[in-house]
Amino acid sequence: MSIYEFSTHKPNGEAVDLSVYKDKVLLFVNTASECGFTPQYTDLQKLHETYGDKGLVVLGFPCNQFGGQEPGTATEVEAFCSLNFGVTFPLFEKVDVKGPDADPIFQYLTEQTGGEIKWNFTKFLVDRKGQVVKQYDSSITPLEIGPDIEQLLV
């Protein structure tokens, strides 16, 4: 099994099969607009700009499970991220990332790492074969992940 077997939706409801990202290095992030870690959007965008043409795709999934810090709709979140942080990487529908209603993508990511999502801006790095490589807690900034991304892009 790989991450490519899952699908999700864009903020406008359009379905996206993750197989469209086959052969790419993926960075999954559960995001929130009113979190102390929200400025990480800036560094996520920097990763997207620095490594996007080399095969990295940053994938943002808004989540309101932690402190109610993502109260808006998915389209409101998309507009906020574009306006305030210049985000051009893909953002998707709001999802739960833990508990009984967790999105299957995040169930798979945490099963593969054996980790737990404790807060917003938890990150998961996936290699070009669709295999989960590592989980990073919220306190690890996106730029700190750069060396790990570079190794996968070779």
For the segment 124-150, the average pLDDT, to the nearest whole number, is 97
Supply the pTM of this predicted model: 0.96
Look at the chain and report how many structural domains it folds into. 1
Total Cβ atoms within 10 A of residue 117:
25
Give me the catalytic one of 25, 26, 32, 35: 35
Q: Residues 44-61: pLDDT tens digits?
A: 999 999 999 999 999 999
Categorise residue 94: left if φ over 0, alpha if ψ from -120 to 50, beta otherwise.
beta
* Mean of per-residue pLDDT scores for the chain: 96
CATH code of 49's domain: 3.40.30.10
Total Cβ atoms within 10 A of residue 1:
10
35 is catalytic: yes
Domain that holds residue 98: 3-153
d(CA 70, CA 15): 22
Residue 74 banded pLDDT, cuts 50, 70, 90: confident
Q: How much of the chain exceeds pLDDT 90, in percent? A: 97
For residues 138, 139, 145, 146, the Cα torsion angle rounded to the nearest 10 degrees is 120
Task: Check residue 64 and give its pLDDT.
Answer: 97
